[in-house]
Structure 1
Amino acid sequence: MTDSPDPSPAPALGHAMDRPALLAALRTRIARLDRSGGAQAEGDSLPLCGAIDQHLPGGGLARAAVHEVLAAEPGAAAGFCALVLARSRWAREGAVLWIAPEPDAWPPGLARFGLSPADLVLVQAPRRQDALWAMEESLRCPGVAGALLAVDGLDMTAARRLQLAAEAGGAIGLLLRPDAEEESGGATAALTRWRVGALAGTGGAHDLGDPRWSLELLRCRGGRPQHWDVTWRPAAERLDIDVAEQLDIDTAEQPDLDDAAAGAQGAVPLRARRRAR
């Protein structure tokens, strides 16, 4: 379904922003994007992939909550955020907002990660207070499935307000932040904090292939830090743990694996393979 052009564009965000007018315009746009006129049955979490979900409380990324994503590589972090927002859209009818001082998200590129441009609303908010207000109002709105705020710094009070807004509205919130040592070590009101970096793709010299990321779960309320190398399969819309890493995870859970038996089947012993790496 293709949305018809909006004859009344939202007012531009400037230094003297008309907040009531902007909020009314956003709600009108969101109402058009909400195809069913209501929300679907809501779950408590969004699945990422089985090997990751089992390490997250609730078996997935908690909804009605705020999560931080530190961008070790901006393109990889944007792709991961698009994946999460797309799955929030599958779980709940509503629009997805991308809020930034200068939104540089490219909708056709984000579509590769399952996020349809028809569901995406880009919000330009040059001033921090305007961006925080837009994010808080979005998270409280029942017609929003998820919202992202690109921000380079956030105090604890503002982060707590966003968490309360997400709990009230039921949407998932993402804080996309630059990767910095002081941020990764500081306190946070978000339920989880991730660092996303890029790895070489699966293709050859003339084809980048499927995107690969380094995912670090730095903090998780009720969980422990973890690290995964993953591959996003656009054709299947599936996130996979890299095979070699999954073998190591399985071996760690079975420390008494018989290497001799593995060798008899023509396989390199797993402990030797880890030493080779």
Structure 2
Amino acid sequence: MDRAALLAGLRARIARFDPGLASGEGRATLPLSPELDAHLPWNGLPLAGMHEVLAADPGAAMGFSALMLARAQAALPGRTILWIAPEPDAYPPGLAQLGLSAASLVLVRAARPADALWAAEEGLRCPAIAAALLFGATPDLTAARRLQLAAETGGGIGLLLRPDDESPGPTAALTRWRISARAASNATPHHLGDPAWEIALLRARGGRPGAWAGEWDAARGTLTTLAPAEAGTGAKRKRA
């Protein structure tokens, strides 16, 4: 486990006893990258909460969500990751490249949205769950608040992966992201390169929006993020 994930795990355990000691804002957090962490009001992605990922590109959004799940898995070792979808389609070798081990991954097939929401709420309420990814069900505001309360009870994170609608509406989630694909810097005509994303933070409770170009270094297990204007300048990159 890297140092950032180890510290996140210790903060999460402290938060179970005294949430006020977890961070300056009272929440244990997961590290994403130095730039993203510094921009978020909690100095990282907060645990014990729901987060929305709008999929401008489904494959890219799924990959970025898997990275978040991997960080939760590293920070909360021994807990289970739930993958809830009408037809769960997880590719373990691809997830492993993003740091997510299939050893603690449980796929939940929920064809009906009501069943998916029930599974997500019950899972998030359980302290043995590090994270729950919900795909294929869009909760109304009341259901979203129930998921947020369940995550606060269990201490893990919930990820709501949904299509990128023009008007996604209000949300009870702590953050809302829009993820689309971009070309990797190490791509060649015969190789797509490492996963790369256009990362837009649309909403953060108590924070402000932002946008970055992100790229995953599979060999080092690090996420590089740059402001879009810097992405093509060859500026020194920050890793986490």
Where 1:181 maps in the other structure, the secondary structure is: coil
Q: 1:189 pairs with 157, 172, 175, which one?
A: 172
Where 1:87 maps in the other structure, the secondary structure is: helix
Amino acid at match of 1:100: A
Amino acid at match of 1:228: W
Residue ranges of structure 1 left out of the alignment (5+ in a row) = 1-38, 249-266, 271-277
Question: Is the aligned partner of 1:82 residue 2:66?
Answer: yes
Distance 1:143 1:52 in 2: 27
Where 1:54 maps in the other structure, the secondary structure is: helix
1:240 aligns with 224
Aligned length: 211
**Deviation, structure 1 residue 40:** 5.3
**Structure 2 contact 211–228 (Cα < 8 Å) conserved:** no
Distance 2:227 2:157 in 1: 30
**Deviation, structure 1 residue 65:** 0.2
Where 2:193 maps in the other structure, the secondary structure is: coil
Residue ranges of structure 2 left out of the alignment (5+ in a row) = 1-11, 16-21, 23-27, 236-240
Deviates more, 1:71-80 or 1:238-247: 238-247
Q: 1:134 pairs with 95, 111, 119, which one?
A: 119
Where 1:164 maps in the other structure, the secondary structure is: helix
Distance 1:235 1:243 in 2: 23
1:14 aligns with none
Where 1:188 maps in the other structure, the secondary structure is: coil
Post-superposition CA distance 1:175-206 (Å, at most 9, x none): 000111021xx100000000000001222100
1:122 aligns with 107
Distance 2:228 2:126 in 1: 43
**RMSD of aligned alpha carbons:** 2.2
**Deviation, structure 1 residue 246:** 4.3
Identity %: 57
TM-score by length of 2: 0.83
1:143 aligns with 128
Where 1:232 maps in the other structure, the secondary structure is: strand
**Structure 1 contact 41–92 (Cα < 8 Å) conserved:** no
Post-superposition CA distance 1:69-123 (Å, at most 9, x none): 0011111111111111111011112010100111122222111110001121110
**Deviation, structure 1 residue 237:** 0.9
Q: 2:96 pairs with 111, 124, 148, which one?
A: 111
Q: How does 1:201-240 map to 2 (within 5 A)?
A: 201=184, 202-240=186-224
Distance 1:207 1:242 in 2: 23
Higher helix share: 1
**Deviation, structure 1 residue 247:** 7.7
Distance 2:48 2:150 in 1: 8
Q: 1:59 pairs with 43, 60, 84, which one?
A: 43
Higher strand share: 2
Q: Which has the larger radius of gyration?
A: 1
**Deviation, structure 1 residue 208:** 1.1
Post-superposition CA distance 1:124-170 (Å, at most 9, x none): 00111111110011101111111100034220000000000000010
TM-score by length of 1: 0.72
Distance 1:206 1:247 in 2: 23
Distance 1:207 1:50 in 2: 28
